[in-house]
Homo-oligomer: A and B are copies of this chain.
């Protein structure tokens, strides 16, 4: 194995662990890493081959990744029997948005408790108020971040475009 290949394998491994740490399937991380690495779209077969897995799980994982908008299907005119996949350009933003949904759920839980809990339960009521405050503020900052990111991304893209025009 060349040095390059070893690094590549290690990175794929890292993505797997990172995805697992977020409570997702390792294989999801592998596929994502593979597609980030690949300059051109990959077919399902190539993914299964490169990861040494069988088609079943890869097919399912690919669907979940598409649902989460982390990868996308692309048309390859030369072979329209096969499905080709590439990384979604906004993969990180989209992953973040998925996470935001979890946070919203926390806010929902807090709201729900707040309305259900008798007001004389001072301790509990205080804790829930805390929780609600916290996650609402968190959502606010999440949105701030997204807005600023989109700004920055646009700036970066303009730079890239002007380079291309040269």
Residues of A within 8 A of B (CB): 4, 7, 11, 14-15, 18, 20-24, 36-37, 39, 87, 92-93, 96, 102, 105-106, 109, 112-113, 116-118, 121-124, 126-128, 130-131, 133-135, 137-138, 141-142, 144-145, 148-149, 152, 156, 160
Contacts and interface: CB of A to CB of B under 8 A. Distances in A.
* A-B residue pairs, 8 tightest by C-beta: A23-B23, A141-B145, A39-B123, A92-B134, A7-B116, A14-B109, A36-B127, A21-B102
6 contacts: A18-B106, A21-B102, A23-B23, A39-B122, A96-B134, A137-B149
Nearest to A116: B7
Contacts of A14: 109, 112
A31 to B, nearest CB: 15
The count of identical subunits is 2
Given A36-B124, A36-B127, A131-B92, A109 B18 contact: yes
A24 B112 CA distance: 22
A151 to B, nearest CB: 10
Contact of A156 (B7, B118, B133): B133
